[in-house]
């Protein structure tokens, strides 16, 4: 009799354990406090959806509640990470859009070949021609192309060579500063990109700055003129996307020319709101996992950087976030830099140029971003 009971217990044990697990997860979901932001995933989590007859009948409530349930499941980070490592073990490296690479590099998969690169470069060239601007174009090569020796054995091809040819053919009168080979030649000796983020490092931004200065016929500030400060525990965007939580963090460096900084004034504009600051470095972000916004406080519609000690020209910088850690170098040569991000700035840039009395224009984008950008339609 006891043997029969024991066999019955063993028979139903998996079902009992499963039911207990589901019940426990339900209790945890109900009673644990709900977080509004995931520092690992770098995004705000969904809130409880609006409940009424319309949202219920349309199915909107059900869809949004499913997202809410997923975002606030107890142990979410553990399960998301477990799934990422399971994919890795099963040979699906890159299935979440990021390759796990040698030396702990997390590198975005190549941009889709069906992209907007050609039309976007034509838009930039047309804008420069229509405004008669003294305009330069600097495109940051993809991490996977420059760091190809770190990639897994099986990976999609990075087509930077073909894409840079497209840029050359469609740049019009733009002064295209091609840093592809410069980065290729320095990638073994210098860390030009972060391991856990898609951006270039401050060292990479400085190398591009020297190429920009050479193209403009100006002398770059020597590397020795900057005081370097290193901060640990930087977890960037590819870390968040990959969910490979065991990846060690990066260090992030600030290169500071203290004498120049004393003369720099920053104004950040979002719509009708304007805030003024005395530094290009927003040190409060160093307390966060993603420390890259330490440069100019991250993405904003319009940012004005004035150097009171310079009588140089006035620069319009049309950009994505790659520009942020290069701007501190550029302030050595310009009296004012007006920086616009077309993802947020929705007014005619040609009017801004006229109002501001712009002397030069620099268009600075990462290759992946310029290939997929849908906001350059506002560049007129």
Encode pLDDT of 218-258 as tens digits.
999 999 999 999 999 999 999 999 999 999 999 999 999 98
Under-70 pLDDT residues of the chain: 1-49, 51, 54, 56, 60-62, 64-76
H helices of the chain, where? 2-31, 53-58, 60-71, 76-89, 117-131, 143-146, 160-170, 180-186, 202-216, 237-242, 258-261, 327-330, 349-356, 367-372
DSSP bridge partners of 295: 281
**What pLDDT is attached to residue 22?**
60
Q: How many CA atoms lie within 13 A of 289 on its CB side?
A: 18
Encode pLDDT of 78-127 as tens digits.
777 888 999 999 999 998 999 999 999 999 999 988 899 999 999 999 99
pTM equals: 0.84
Q: How far is C-alpha 206 from the geometric centre of its chain's CA atoms?
A: 18
325, two tokens: 């850690």
Q: Is 343 exposed, middle or buried (0-12, 13-18, 19+ CB in 10 A)?
A: middle
Question: How many beta carbons lie within 10 A of that of residue 143, not counting itself?
Answer: 32
């Amino acid at each position: 009799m006891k043997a029969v009971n024991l066999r019955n217990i063993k028979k139903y044990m998996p079902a009992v354990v499963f039911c207990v697990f589901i019940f426990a997860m339900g209790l945890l979901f109900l009673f644990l406090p709900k977080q509004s932001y995931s520092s690992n995933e770098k995004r705000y989590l969904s809130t409880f959806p609006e409940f009424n007859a319309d949202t219920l009948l349309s199915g909107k409530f059900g869809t949004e509640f499913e997202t809410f349930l997923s975002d606030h499941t107890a142990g979410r980070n553990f399960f998301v990470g477990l799934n990422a490592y399971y994919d890795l073990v099963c040979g699906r490296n890159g299935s979440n859009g990021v390759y796990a690479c040698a030396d702990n590099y997390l590198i975005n998969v190549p941009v889709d070949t069906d992209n907007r690169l050609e039309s976007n470069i034509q838009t930039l060239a047309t804008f420069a021609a229509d405004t008669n601007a003294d305009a330069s174009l600097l495109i940051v090569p993809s991490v996977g192309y420059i760091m190809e020796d770190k990639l897994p054995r099986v990976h999609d091809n990075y087509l930077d060579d073909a894409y840079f040819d497209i840029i050359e053919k469609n740049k019009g009168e733009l002064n295209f500063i091609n840093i592809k080979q410069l980065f290729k030649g320095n990638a073994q000796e210098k860390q030009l990109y972060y391991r856990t983020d898609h951006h270039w490092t401050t060292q990479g931004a400085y190398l591009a700055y020297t190429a920009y200065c050479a193209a403009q016929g100006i002398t770059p500030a020597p590397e020795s003129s900057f005081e370097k400060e290193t901060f640990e525990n930087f977890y960037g965007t590819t870390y968040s996307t990959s969910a490979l939580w065991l990846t060690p963090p990066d260090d992030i460096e600030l290169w500071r020319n203290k004498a120049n900084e004393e003369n720099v004034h920053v104004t950040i504009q979002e719509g009708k709101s304007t805030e003024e600051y005395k530094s290009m470095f927003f040190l409060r972000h160093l307390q966060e996992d993603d420390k890259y916004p330490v440069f100019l406080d991250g993405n904003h519609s319009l940012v004005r950087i004035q150097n009171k000690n310079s009588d140089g020209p006035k620069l319009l910088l049309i950009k994505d976030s790659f520009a942020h850690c290069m701007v501190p170098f550029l302030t050595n040569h310009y009296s004012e830099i007006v920086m616009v991000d077309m993802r947020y700035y929705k007014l005619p840039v040609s009017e801004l140029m006229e109002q501001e009395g712009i002397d030069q224009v620099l268009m600075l984008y990462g290759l992946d971003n310029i290939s997929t950008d849908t906001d350059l339609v506002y560049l007129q």
